[in-house]
Amino acid sequence: MDDLKDIVNESKKNPQAFAKIYELFFDKIYGYVYYKIGIVAEAEDISEQVFLKALEGIGNFEWKGVPFSSWLFRIASNLVVDYFRKKNKLSTVPIEEQAYKIADNRRDTEDMINLKLSFKTAQKAICKLSEDQQNVVILKFLNGFSNAEIAGVLGKTEGAVKSIQHRALNSLRKALKGELLNE
């Protein structure tokens, strides 16, 4: 944590020091953006925009008791919202690509098919959640954020995040139960 504070403070004085922030956070930011948008080229472009905006705004960044990563993810979240406003379409995720990323080369064909079907089912259920619920599920379970970090990204209290998470998990449970019964 102290190292990150040093890097951020150095980046305020020397923009070239920002490269370290980019290295530390690019994969997480890209993963979040990709999961929300589902298009590799678009996710790469938006992820780059996140870091450009962060570099432009690093001089105004202040430590206010929330992690630095929350500030970056808030920028990413805002850019994703802007992207969909411009595109005026719903968020979908090509879950097959996620399945291939996660799948081990040693898996046999039947395992790969089952994995892809599981991801498609999960994707359908997640897409039925509200935007806040989707964000909480993605940040918590795919990026490993704490409730405090999620609260910082979404601009909500930790209690609100817990409540959103609880409702999201209940909705997912019901949706997945329904999917299994419909098979």
Helix (H, G, I), strand (E, B) or coil at 36: helix
Domain 2-87 has CATH 1.10.1740.10: yes
CATH: 1.10.10.10, 3.40.50.970, 3.40.50.10880, 3.40.50.450. Which one for 95-182? 1.10.10.10
Cβ neighbours of 41 (radius 10 Å): 8
Q: Measured between alpha carbons, how far is 56 from 69 in angstroms, rounded to an integer?
A: 16
DSSP 138: I
Return residue ranges of the chain for CATH 1.10.10.10.
Answer: 95-182
What would the pLDDT profile of 40-67 be if each residue is shown by its tens digit? 899 999 999 999 999 999 999 888 877 8
pLDDT at 114: 61
Distance of CA 51 to CAs 78, 117, 131, 138, 174, Å? 13, 34, 23, 20, 38
* Band (85; pLDDT cuts 50, 70, 90): confident
Helix (H, G, I), strand (E, B) or coil at 157: coil
